[in-house]
Amino acid sequence: MSFSSLVQDLSLRDPNAPRRRGDASVSTIDDRASRTSHISRAMSYASTAATSVSISGDISSQLHGGYAHPLARSWQAERQLTKSMLIYPLFVSDNDDEEVLIPSLPNQYRRGINRLVPFLEPLVHKGLRSVILFGVPLKPGTKDALGTAADDPEGPVIRSIRLLRQRFPQLYITVDVCLCEYTSHGHCGILRDDGSLNNQLSVDRISDVALAYAKAGAHCVAPSDMNDGRIRAIKLKLIEEGIVHRVTLMSYAAKFSGCLYGPFRDAADSCPSFGDRKCYQLPPGGRGLARRAIVRDINEGADIIMVKPASQYLDIISDAKELGKDLPVAAYQVSGEFAMIHAAAKAGVFDLKAMAFEATEGILRAGATIIISYFVPEFLDWLST
């Protein structure tokens, strides 16, 4: 007999009915009360079970047990944030002893080369695996129309590459490749007389700078200028130099124009002196254009595809993972994203640590496997605890 049939059978019996004549004894009041209690509990259980199945659906809908424990919750993530995924941006100036706080970028500094090692030592000890270098020439007369100082052997970037390779042999050195910090006009290449970007001359110059950084010892060169064809040009020069086998080429393939770069431009002193960068950085609504740029850079030899900014472009990160399914995908959580999270946390909107993790895990969920973030020093502590 099934459990439900048993309950029904018991419920039909009259607990007050007299025993048959042949019974050895007559039921007592306690006996009847006990039987009534058992029947009531059985009926209640059957009712609850039926209601539960009715509300919750079939067995496959029962999910809570799969993430009831903190460890089980972590297993639900396709990608879990680790220290090896993180790249920390460093702004290195040509003032060797400088260490200046960037007001619009909380807790971030522009440092001279003499300040790098003392700053990085504790971070490397905590598990820092990679940095990305941005040169910031500040000395008068350094900037010109061609960005001549970008590959100066005595400039901040090349000197920093050599220093960090010597002092931290296990640290992976990525270098941003662009001219905006070095040009007098603040644009990301060489300009025509009418002020527009000369793509051919810019690509030739950018690829020379990338090659100089690679020859100085950079593990990875990352052109952020968004000139058409610069990935192919850099790859060819690395091949011709015989070092393509040891240098990673990370493309800012989908870099969007917008208002999230303000604090970075304060840090790098790279704001355009006129106009904007909308004619070579991607328009915010240009998803199809971003997909075309990603495919182009993959075909030109990029080893890693980057999307920038990150949180506002999760669909593009997902597209990059789809289009470059065999390549790592990087995402740059840019200065404006970082500053907004800090500002909202300061205003009491949310907890800083909780939001830093939530934003970053969203980027990972979209498909990124490499995160460039100003939160890296904090993550090194948070991930250790």
182 marked as part of a ligand binding site:
no
- CA gap 142, 332 in Å, rounded: 28
Mean pLDDT of 313-321: 98
Between CA 306 and CA 328 the distance in angstroms is 9
Contacts of residue 380, Cβ cutoff 8 Å, sequence gap at least 6: 83, 86, 123, 126, 127, 128
- Picking from 101, 93, 179, 183, the residue whose alpha carbon sits closest to that of residue 138 is 93
State the average pLDDT for the chain. Answer: 86
Q: Active-site residue among 126, 255, 278, 325?
A: 255
Q: What is the mean pLDDT of residues 290-315?
A: 96
What does the pLDDT look like over 149-183, one tens digit per residue? 999 999 999 999 999 999 999 999 999 999 888 99
- Residue 284: CB atoms within 10 A of its CB come to 16
- With beta carbons less than 8 A apart as the criterion, state whether 315 and 291 touch: no
| pLDDT higher than 60, residue 8 | no
In this predicted structure, what is the pLDDT of residue 10?
47
List the catalytic residue out of 308, 325, 346, 353.
308
Q: Evaluate if residue 31 carries a pLDDT over 80.
A: no
The neighbour count for residue 148, using CB atoms within 10 Å, is: 15
pLDDT for 137 beyond 50: yes
Q: Which of 46-50, 113-117, 122-126, 209-213 has the lowest mean pLDDT?
A: 46-50
DSSP assignment letter at 60:
G
pLDDT surpassing 90 at residue 343: yes
CA dihedral 252, 257, 261, 265 (to 10 degrees): 90
pLDDT tier at 17 (50, 70, 90 boundaries)?
very low
- Give the confidence band of 24 by pLDDT, cuts at 50, 70, 90: very low
Contact criterion met (CB below 8 Å) for 19 and 27: yes
Residue 13, annotated as binding a ligand = no
**67 carries a ligand binding annotation:** no
Q: Is the pLDDT of residue 358 over 70?
A: yes
Q: Where are the beta strands (DSSP E) in the chain?
A: 86-93, 99-101, 109-111, 130-136, 172-177, 220-223, 248-255, 304-308, 329-332, 370-372
Mean pLDDT of 50-70: 68
Q: pLDDT for 67-96, tens place per residue? A: 888 878 888 878 899 999 999 999 999 999
Ligand-binding site membership of 277 (annotated):
yes
Q: What angle is formed at CA 32 by the lines to CA 29 and CA 38, rounded to 5 degrees? A: 140
Q: Does the active-site annotation cover 255? A: yes
Is 279 marked as a binding-site residue? no
Assigned token pair, 23: 């019974």
Rounded mean pLDDT, 304-329: 96
| 2 confidence band (pLDDT: 50, 70, 90) | low
Q: Is 188 annotated as a binding residue?
A: yes
- pLDDT 10s digits, 61-75: 778 878 888 878 888
180 annotated to a ligand binding site: yes
Structural domains in the chain, CATH included, are 77-381 (3.20.20.70)
Residue 5, pLDDT score:
53
State how far the Cα of 238 lies from the Cα of 60, in Å rounded to an integer: 54
pLDDT at 3: 47
